[in-house]
A = this chain, B = another copy of it.
Amino acid sequence: MNPVDQSKFPTVVIIGGGFGGLQVAKQLAEKPVEVILIDKHNYHTFQPLLYQVATGSLEAESIAFSLRKNFEGQKNLRFRNTEVTRIDAERNTVVTTIGEIPYDYLVIATGSTTNFFGNKDIEHYAMPMKSIPEALNLRYMVLQNLEEAILKPAKEERAPYLSFVLVGAGPTGVELAGALAELRNHVLNKDYPELMKEEMKVYLVDFLPKVLGPFSDEGSKAAEDYLHKMGVELLLNVKVESYDGHEIKFEGGKSILTKNVIWSAGVMGVVPDGVSKDAIERGNRIKVDTICRLVGSPNIFAIGDVAAMITEETPKGHPGVAQVAIQMGETTGKNIYKLIKGEPAVPFKYNDKGSLATIGRNKAIADIGKLKFQGFFAWLIWMFVHLISLMGGRNRVIVFINWVASYVTYNGGSRLIIRNFKREELVQKDEQVSKPD
Protein backbone atom coordinates (compact mmCIF):
# COMPACT_ATOMS: atom_id res chain seq x y z
CA MET A 1 0.00 0.00 0.00
CA ASN A 2 1.19 3.47 -0.78
CA PRO A 3 -0.27 5.76 1.87
CA VAL A 4 0.28 8.89 -0.22
CA ASP A 5 -1.11 9.49 -3.70
CA GLN A 6 1.81 10.85 -5.61
CA SER A 7 1.77 13.22 -8.54
CA LYS A 8 4.27 13.20 -11.38
CA PHE A 9 6.53 15.80 -9.76
CA PRO A 10 9.72 14.52 -8.15
CA THR A 11 9.01 13.41 -4.58
CA VAL A 12 11.15 14.62 -1.70
CA VAL A 13 10.61 12.59 1.46
CA ILE A 14 11.80 14.17 4.71
CA ILE A 15 12.07 12.02 7.83
CA GLY A 16 11.76 14.19 10.93
CA GLY A 17 10.02 17.48 11.66
CA GLY A 18 12.77 18.98 13.81
CA PHE A 19 14.73 22.14 13.11
CA GLY A 20 16.42 20.65 10.03
CA GLY A 21 13.49 18.86 8.44
CA LEU A 22 11.27 21.95 8.71
CA GLN A 23 13.82 24.05 6.82
CA VAL A 24 14.10 21.56 3.96
CA ALA A 25 10.32 21.58 3.60
CA LYS A 26 10.15 25.36 3.75
CA GLN A 27 12.78 25.77 1.01
CA LEU A 28 10.74 23.54 -1.28
CA ALA A 29 7.47 25.46 -0.87
CA GLU A 30 6.03 26.71 -4.17
CA LYS A 31 8.54 24.55 -6.08
CA PRO A 32 7.39 21.92 -8.59
CA VAL A 33 8.10 19.05 -6.21
CA GLU A 34 6.02 16.84 -3.98
CA VAL A 35 7.11 17.00 -0.35
CA ILE A 36 6.22 14.26 2.12
CA LEU A 37 7.13 14.96 5.72
CA ILE A 38 7.17 12.00 8.11
CA ASP A 39 7.34 12.27 11.88
CA LYS A 40 6.33 9.91 14.65
CA HIS A 41 4.97 12.90 16.54
CA ASN A 42 2.44 15.25 14.97
CA TYR A 43 4.35 18.26 16.31
CA HIS A 44 7.68 20.04 16.15
CA THR A 45 9.53 20.29 19.47
CA PHE A 46 11.47 23.41 20.41
CA GLN A 47 14.13 21.44 22.26
CA PRO A 48 16.03 24.38 23.80
CA LEU A 49 13.17 24.96 26.23
CA LEU A 50 12.45 21.32 27.09
CA TYR A 51 14.05 21.77 30.51
CA GLN A 52 11.37 24.35 31.39
CA VAL A 53 8.72 21.76 30.58
CA ALA A 54 10.54 19.31 32.85
CA THR A 55 10.48 21.73 35.78
CA GLY A 56 6.87 22.71 35.14
CA SER A 57 7.64 26.32 34.20
CA LEU A 58 6.16 25.94 30.73
CA GLU A 59 3.45 23.73 29.33
CA ALA A 60 4.42 21.17 26.72
CA GLU A 61 2.09 22.82 24.24
CA SER A 62 3.94 26.14 24.49
CA ILE A 63 7.13 24.69 23.05
CA ALA A 64 5.55 22.34 20.56
CA PHE A 65 3.77 23.22 17.38
CA SER A 66 1.47 21.14 15.22
CA LEU A 67 3.25 20.15 12.00
CA ARG A 68 -0.04 20.11 10.13
CA LYS A 69 -0.87 23.61 11.30
CA ASN A 70 2.60 24.85 10.41
CA PHE A 71 2.24 23.66 6.82
CA GLU A 72 -1.38 24.68 6.28
CA GLY A 73 -0.30 27.10 3.58
CA GLN A 74 2.13 24.80 1.78
CA LYS A 75 0.08 23.08 -0.90
CA ASN A 76 2.83 20.74 -2.13
CA LEU A 77 3.41 19.14 1.27
CA ARG A 78 1.74 16.12 2.80
CA PHE A 79 2.34 15.12 6.41
CA ARG A 80 2.31 11.51 7.61
CA ASN A 81 2.26 10.81 11.34
CA THR A 82 4.12 7.49 11.31
CA GLU A 83 7.37 5.76 12.11
CA VAL A 84 9.94 4.69 9.59
CA THR A 85 10.71 0.98 9.75
CA ARG A 86 13.44 0.87 7.15
CA ILE A 87 14.95 2.67 4.20
CA ASP A 88 15.17 0.59 1.05
CA ALA A 89 17.74 2.59 -0.92
CA GLU A 90 17.82 0.16 -3.84
CA ARG A 91 14.12 0.65 -4.44
CA ASN A 92 14.17 4.34 -3.48
CA THR A 93 11.49 3.62 -0.90
CA VAL A 94 10.89 4.37 2.75
CA VAL A 95 9.10 1.56 4.57
CA THR A 96 6.84 2.87 7.33
CA THR A 97 4.27 1.47 9.74
CA ILE A 98 1.54 2.72 7.40
CA GLY A 99 3.04 1.41 4.14
CA GLU A 100 5.78 2.13 1.62
CA ILE A 101 6.54 5.62 0.40
CA PRO A 102 8.69 5.92 -2.75
CA TYR A 103 11.00 8.91 -3.06
CA ASP A 104 13.18 10.63 -5.63
CA TYR A 105 15.13 12.43 -2.92
CA LEU A 106 15.31 11.47 0.72
CA VAL A 107 16.36 13.67 3.63
CA ILE A 108 17.15 11.95 6.93
CA ALA A 109 16.58 14.53 9.65
CA THR A 110 15.94 12.16 12.52
CA GLY A 111 18.05 13.98 15.10
CA SER A 112 19.64 12.40 18.13
CA THR A 113 18.67 10.54 21.26
CA THR A 114 20.27 10.09 24.67
CA ASN A 115 23.51 8.11 24.71
CA PHE A 116 23.91 5.94 27.81
CA PHE A 117 27.14 4.50 26.37
CA GLY A 118 25.86 0.96 26.71
CA ASN A 119 25.20 1.06 30.45
CA LYS A 120 21.88 -0.76 30.74
CA ASP A 121 21.31 0.00 34.42
CA ILE A 122 21.79 3.70 33.92
CA GLU A 123 19.57 3.58 30.86
CA HIS A 124 16.87 1.89 32.92
CA TYR A 125 17.01 4.06 36.03
CA ALA A 126 18.22 7.47 34.88
CA MET A 127 15.88 9.92 33.19
CA PRO A 128 16.66 11.24 29.71
CA MET A 129 15.23 14.53 28.47
CA LYS A 130 15.27 14.68 24.69
CA SER A 131 11.55 14.76 23.90
CA ILE A 132 8.34 16.17 25.31
CA PRO A 133 7.09 12.85 26.71
CA GLU A 134 10.49 12.43 28.41
CA ALA A 135 10.41 15.95 29.84
CA LEU A 136 6.90 15.28 31.19
CA ASN A 137 7.98 11.98 32.73
CA LEU A 138 10.80 13.84 34.43
CA ARG A 139 8.40 16.50 35.72
CA TYR A 140 6.03 13.93 37.17
CA MET A 141 8.89 11.98 38.75
CA VAL A 142 10.31 15.08 40.44
CA LEU A 143 6.90 16.14 41.79
CA GLN A 144 6.02 12.63 42.93
CA ASN A 145 9.34 12.35 44.76
CA LEU A 146 8.65 15.62 46.59
CA GLU A 147 5.26 14.21 47.64
CA GLU A 148 6.97 11.01 48.71
CA ALA A 149 9.61 12.88 50.74
CA ILE A 150 6.92 14.54 52.85
CA LEU A 151 5.79 11.14 54.09
CA LYS A 152 9.20 10.03 55.41
CA PRO A 153 9.59 10.91 59.06
CA ALA A 154 13.41 10.62 59.18
CA LYS A 155 15.75 13.03 57.44
CA GLU A 156 17.89 10.18 56.08
CA GLU A 157 14.82 8.56 54.56
CA ARG A 158 13.87 11.82 52.84
CA ALA A 159 17.33 12.51 51.45
CA PRO A 160 17.27 10.21 48.36
CA TYR A 161 13.95 11.73 47.26
CA LEU A 162 15.30 15.25 47.66
CA SER A 163 18.67 14.72 45.95
CA PHE A 164 18.83 15.57 42.27
CA VAL A 165 21.88 14.40 40.36
CA LEU A 166 22.31 15.82 36.87
CA VAL A 167 24.93 14.04 34.83
CA GLY A 168 26.38 16.08 31.99
CA ALA A 169 27.15 19.78 32.41
CA GLY A 170 26.35 20.93 28.89
CA PRO A 171 23.61 23.53 28.34
CA THR A 172 20.84 21.02 29.23
CA GLY A 173 22.44 20.01 32.53
CA VAL A 174 23.37 23.57 33.46
CA GLU A 175 19.94 25.00 32.63
CA LEU A 176 18.15 22.20 34.45
CA ALA A 177 20.43 22.60 37.49
CA GLY A 178 19.60 26.30 37.58
CA ALA A 179 15.88 25.66 37.26
CA LEU A 180 15.87 23.02 40.02
CA ALA A 181 17.90 25.32 42.28
CA GLU A 182 15.31 28.04 41.73
CA LEU A 183 12.52 25.59 42.53
CA ARG A 184 14.29 24.88 45.80
CA ASN A 185 15.13 28.50 46.59
CA HIS A 186 11.78 30.09 45.77
CA VAL A 187 9.05 27.45 45.71
CA LEU A 188 9.86 24.58 48.07
CA ASN A 189 9.04 26.34 51.33
CA LYS A 190 5.83 27.77 49.95
CA ASP A 191 4.42 24.62 48.37
CA TYR A 192 5.87 21.98 50.66
CA PRO A 193 5.92 23.56 54.13
CA GLU A 194 6.81 20.14 55.57
CA LEU A 195 10.22 20.21 53.82
CA MET A 196 13.26 22.31 54.66
CA LYS A 197 14.78 23.87 51.59
CA GLU A 198 18.27 22.94 52.83
CA GLU A 199 17.29 19.29 52.49
CA MET A 200 16.93 19.53 48.73
CA LYS A 201 20.27 19.05 46.98
CA VAL A 202 21.15 19.66 43.36
CA TYR A 203 24.36 18.09 42.04
CA LEU A 204 25.81 18.72 38.59
CA VAL A 205 28.30 16.09 37.49
CA ASP A 206 30.69 16.04 34.53
CA PHE A 207 33.81 14.10 33.69
CA LEU A 208 35.29 17.27 32.19
CA PRO A 209 36.97 19.82 34.45
CA LYS A 210 34.50 22.58 33.50
CA VAL A 211 30.81 23.18 32.85
CA LEU A 212 29.53 24.24 29.41
CA GLY A 213 32.47 22.54 27.70
CA PRO A 214 32.18 24.18 24.27
CA PHE A 215 31.75 27.71 25.66
CA SER A 216 34.56 30.21 26.27
CA ASP A 217 36.49 29.81 29.52
CA GLU A 218 35.07 33.15 30.61
CA GLY A 219 31.53 31.90 30.04
CA SER A 220 32.18 28.57 31.77
CA LYS A 221 33.69 30.31 34.76
CA ALA A 222 30.72 32.67 35.09
CA ALA A 223 28.29 29.75 34.84
CA GLU A 224 30.15 27.93 37.61
CA ASP A 225 29.97 31.04 39.80
CA TYR A 226 26.26 31.43 39.23
CA LEU A 227 25.57 27.76 39.93
CA HIS A 228 27.65 27.92 43.07
CA LYS A 229 25.79 30.96 44.35
CA MET A 230 22.47 29.28 43.71
CA GLY A 231 23.55 26.32 45.79
CA VAL A 232 24.26 23.76 43.06
CA GLU A 233 27.07 21.39 44.03
CA LEU A 234 29.48 20.89 41.15
CA LEU A 235 31.19 17.54 40.81
CA LEU A 236 33.67 18.10 37.99
CA ASN A 237 36.34 15.66 36.78
CA VAL A 238 33.98 12.99 38.05
CA LYS A 239 32.97 9.87 36.14
CA VAL A 240 29.78 7.94 36.83
CA GLU A 241 30.32 4.27 37.42
CA SER A 242 26.82 2.93 38.11
CA TYR A 243 23.29 3.74 39.19
CA ASP A 244 20.83 1.19 40.52
CA GLY A 245 17.81 3.42 41.08
CA HIS A 246 18.87 4.21 44.62
CA GLU A 247 22.61 4.98 44.71
CA ILE A 248 24.78 6.60 42.08
CA LYS A 249 28.44 5.60 42.32
CA PHE A 250 31.35 7.55 40.93
CA GLU A 251 34.83 6.38 40.01
CA GLY A 252 37.09 6.75 43.01
CA GLY A 253 34.56 5.51 45.54
CA LYS A 254 32.22 8.46 46.18
CA SER A 255 28.48 7.95 45.91
CA ILE A 256 25.15 9.70 46.49
CA LEU A 257 21.84 8.15 47.56
CA THR A 258 19.25 9.48 45.14
CA LYS A 259 15.98 8.62 43.44
CA ASN A 260 16.55 11.32 40.81
CA VAL A 261 19.30 10.92 38.22
CA ILE A 262 18.91 12.93 35.05
CA TRP A 263 21.21 11.96 32.22
CA SER A 264 22.30 14.51 29.66
CA ALA A 265 25.87 13.29 29.31
CA GLY A 266 25.77 12.34 25.67
CA VAL A 267 23.73 11.97 22.51
CA MET A 268 23.84 9.69 19.52
CA GLY A 269 22.25 9.89 16.11
CA VAL A 270 18.97 8.13 15.38
CA VAL A 271 19.78 6.21 12.21
CA PRO A 272 16.93 4.41 10.44
CA ASP A 273 17.48 0.75 9.49
CA GLY A 274 18.75 0.28 5.98
CA VAL A 275 21.57 2.82 6.13
CA SER A 276 24.79 0.90 5.45
CA LYS A 277 26.96 0.27 8.53
CA ASP A 278 29.95 1.64 6.57
CA ALA A 279 28.28 5.02 6.48
CA ILE A 280 28.12 5.31 10.28
CA GLU A 281 30.57 7.61 12.07
CA ARG A 282 31.37 8.11 15.75
CA GLY A 283 28.26 9.02 17.76
CA ASN A 284 26.08 6.89 15.47
CA ARG A 285 25.98 9.64 12.86
CA ILE A 286 25.69 9.29 9.11
CA LYS A 287 28.81 10.26 7.17
CA VAL A 288 27.92 12.93 4.62
CA ASP A 289 29.85 14.86 1.98
CA THR A 290 30.04 18.65 1.76
CA ILE A 291 26.51 18.89 0.36
CA CYS A 292 25.08 16.76 3.24
CA ARG A 293 24.73 13.80 0.92
CA LEU A 294 25.18 10.28 2.23
CA VAL A 295 28.60 9.26 0.96
CA GLY A 296 28.09 7.05 -2.09
CA SER A 297 24.39 7.84 -2.61
CA PRO A 298 23.04 10.06 -5.39
CA ASN A 299 19.81 11.06 -3.66
CA ILE A 300 19.94 10.50 0.12
CA PHE A 301 20.83 13.37 2.43
CA ALA A 302 21.34 13.56 6.19
CA ILE A 303 21.26 16.79 8.16
CA GLY A 304 21.47 18.08 11.72
CA ASP A 305 22.35 15.92 14.72
CA VAL A 306 22.28 12.70 12.71
CA ALA A 307 24.81 13.95 10.13
CA ALA A 308 28.61 13.88 10.44
CA MET A 309 30.29 16.10 7.89
CA ILE A 310 33.94 15.30 8.53
CA THR A 311 36.26 17.82 6.87
CA GLU A 312 39.62 19.36 7.72
CA GLU A 313 37.85 22.28 9.36
CA THR A 314 35.40 20.04 11.21
CA PRO A 315 37.32 16.86 12.07
CA LYS A 316 34.55 15.76 14.47
CA GLY A 317 31.67 17.08 12.42
CA HIS A 318 29.51 20.00 13.50
CA PRO A 319 28.12 20.55 17.00
CA GLY A 320 24.68 19.10 17.72
CA VAL A 321 22.86 22.39 17.97
CA ALA A 322 19.74 23.84 16.40
CA GLN A 323 21.65 26.31 14.21
CA VAL A 324 23.57 23.54 12.42
CA ALA A 325 20.34 21.68 11.70
CA ILE A 326 18.56 24.82 10.51
CA GLN A 327 21.41 25.85 8.20
CA MET A 328 21.98 22.34 6.85
CA GLY A 329 18.23 22.11 6.19
CA GLU A 330 18.26 25.40 4.33
CA THR A 331 21.22 24.43 2.16
CA THR A 332 19.85 20.95 1.50
CA GLY A 333 16.40 22.18 0.53
CA LYS A 334 17.96 24.58 -1.95
CA ASN A 335 20.42 21.98 -3.23
CA ILE A 336 17.75 19.39 -3.91
CA TYR A 337 15.92 21.87 -6.11
CA LYS A 338 19.18 22.73 -7.88
CA LEU A 339 19.86 19.04 -8.54
CA ILE A 340 16.34 18.62 -9.91
CA LYS A 341 16.97 21.51 -12.29
CA GLY A 342 20.33 20.00 -13.23
CA GLU A 343 22.33 22.73 -11.55
CA PRO A 344 25.35 22.06 -9.34
CA ALA A 345 24.78 21.87 -5.57
CA VAL A 346 26.41 24.39 -3.25
CA PRO A 347 28.62 23.08 -0.40
CA PHE A 348 27.39 23.62 3.15
CA LYS A 349 29.08 26.41 5.09
CA TYR A 350 28.28 26.74 8.79
CA ASN A 351 27.77 30.25 10.10
CA ASP A 352 28.31 30.01 13.85
CA LYS A 353 25.96 32.53 15.45
CA GLY A 354 27.24 31.84 18.93
CA SER A 355 26.10 30.01 22.02
CA LEU A 356 23.66 30.89 24.76
CA ALA A 357 22.77 29.26 28.05
CA THR A 358 20.75 30.51 30.98
CA ILE A 359 21.21 29.55 34.61
CA GLY A 360 18.22 31.33 36.09
CA ARG A 361 16.74 34.71 36.91
CA ASN A 362 18.95 37.46 35.47
CA LYS A 363 21.74 35.00 34.78
CA ALA A 364 22.90 33.78 31.39
CA ILE A 365 26.01 33.23 29.33
CA ALA A 366 26.36 34.48 25.76
CA ASP A 367 29.35 33.72 23.55
CA ILE A 368 28.73 35.49 20.27
CA GLY A 369 31.85 35.42 18.14
CA LYS A 370 34.37 37.52 20.01
CA LEU A 371 31.69 39.07 22.20
CA LYS A 372 31.22 37.43 25.57
CA PHE A 373 28.48 38.56 27.92
CA GLN A 374 27.37 37.19 31.24
CA GLY A 375 24.57 38.15 33.56
CA PHE A 376 21.50 40.28 33.01
CA PHE A 377 22.24 41.47 29.47
CA ALA A 378 23.04 37.93 28.32
CA TRP A 379 19.81 36.83 29.97
CA LEU A 380 17.81 39.39 27.99
CA ILE A 381 19.49 38.19 24.78
CA TRP A 382 18.72 34.60 25.73
CA MET A 383 15.04 35.39 26.29
CA PHE A 384 14.74 37.43 23.11
CA VAL A 385 16.41 34.81 20.91
CA HIS A 386 14.29 31.99 22.34
CA LEU A 387 11.05 33.93 22.08
CA ILE A 388 11.54 34.87 18.44
CA SER A 389 12.69 31.35 17.56
CA LEU A 390 9.52 29.75 18.93
CA MET A 391 6.98 28.71 16.37
CA GLY A 392 3.57 30.37 16.44
CA GLY A 393 2.53 33.79 17.67
CA ARG A 394 0.29 32.30 20.32
CA ASN A 395 3.19 30.26 21.74
CA ARG A 396 5.40 33.34 21.87
CA VAL A 397 2.78 35.34 23.74
CA ILE A 398 2.05 32.52 26.17
CA VAL A 399 5.71 31.78 26.90
CA PHE A 400 6.32 35.49 27.40
CA ILE A 401 3.43 35.75 29.88
CA ASN A 402 4.67 32.69 31.74
CA TRP A 403 8.15 34.17 32.00
CA VAL A 404 6.85 37.54 33.18
CA ALA A 405 4.62 35.80 35.75
CA SER A 406 7.58 33.73 36.97
CA TYR A 407 9.80 36.78 37.15
CA VAL A 408 7.31 38.84 39.11
CA THR A 409 6.02 36.15 41.46
CA TYR A 410 9.18 34.01 41.90
CA ASN A 411 6.67 31.21 41.62
CA GLY A 412 5.93 30.40 38.01
CA GLY A 413 4.73 27.15 36.57
CA SER A 414 1.81 24.92 37.27
CA ARG A 415 3.57 21.79 38.59
CA LEU A 416 0.70 19.40 37.91
CA ILE A 417 1.03 15.62 37.94
CA ILE A 418 -1.26 14.86 35.02
CA ARG A 419 -0.05 11.29 34.50
CA ASN A 420 1.55 9.26 37.24
CA PHE A 421 5.08 8.25 36.40
CA LYS A 422 5.77 4.61 37.24
CA ARG A 423 9.25 3.43 36.55
CA GLU A 424 8.45 -0.26 36.75
CA GLU A 425 6.15 0.03 33.75
CA LEU A 426 8.61 2.04 31.75
CA VAL A 427 10.60 0.33 29.06
CA GLN A 428 11.28 2.89 26.38
CA LYS A 429 11.10 6.27 28.05
CA ASP A 430 10.13 8.39 25.11
CA GLU A 431 6.53 7.32 25.04
CA GLN A 432 3.58 6.54 27.22
CA VAL A 433 0.36 4.85 26.39
CA SER A 434 -3.02 4.63 27.99
CA LYS A 435 -3.06 2.36 30.99
CA PRO A 436 -4.79 2.21 34.30
CA ASP A 437 -3.20 3.83 37.30
Q: Given that A42-B147, A434-B426 are contacting pairs, would A194 and B60 also be in contact in the complex, using a CB cutoff of 8 Å?
A: no
Within 8 A of B (CB), among A116-163: 132-133, 136-137, 143, 147, 150-151
Interface segment, A30-38, A63-71, A222-230, A298-306? A63-71
Interface flag for A280 (CB, 8 Å): no
13 A–B pairs (Cβ distance < 8 Å), ordered by A: A42-B415, A43-B414, A72-B191, A75-B193, A98-B151, A394-B405, A425-B434, A425-B435, A428-B437, A429-B434, A431-B436, A432-B432, A433-B435
Interface flag for A419 (CB, 8 Å): yes
Residues of B close to A78: CB separation below 8 A: 193-194
Within 8 A of B (CB), among A14-43: 41-43
- With beta carbons under 8 angstroms apart, the residue of B41, B66, B143, B191 that contacts A414 is B66
Residues of B close to A422: CB separation below 8 A: 433-434
Interface segment, A237-245, A355-363, A396-404? A396-404
Q: Given that A394-B405, A401-B401, A435-B432 are contacting pairs, would A417 and B60 also be in contact in the complex, using a CB cutoff of 8 Å?
A: no
- With beta carbons under 8 angstroms apart, the residue of B66, B414, B416, B421 that contacts A415 is B66
Residues of B close to A41: CB separation below 8 A: 416-417
Contact call A401/B394, Cβ cutoff below 8 A: yes
Contact call A66/B401, Cβ cutoff below 8 A: no
Residues of B close to A437: CB separation below 8 A: 428, 430-433
In the complex, A435 Cα to B42 Cα: how many Å? 19
Residues of B close to A64: CB separation below 8 A: 414, 416, 418
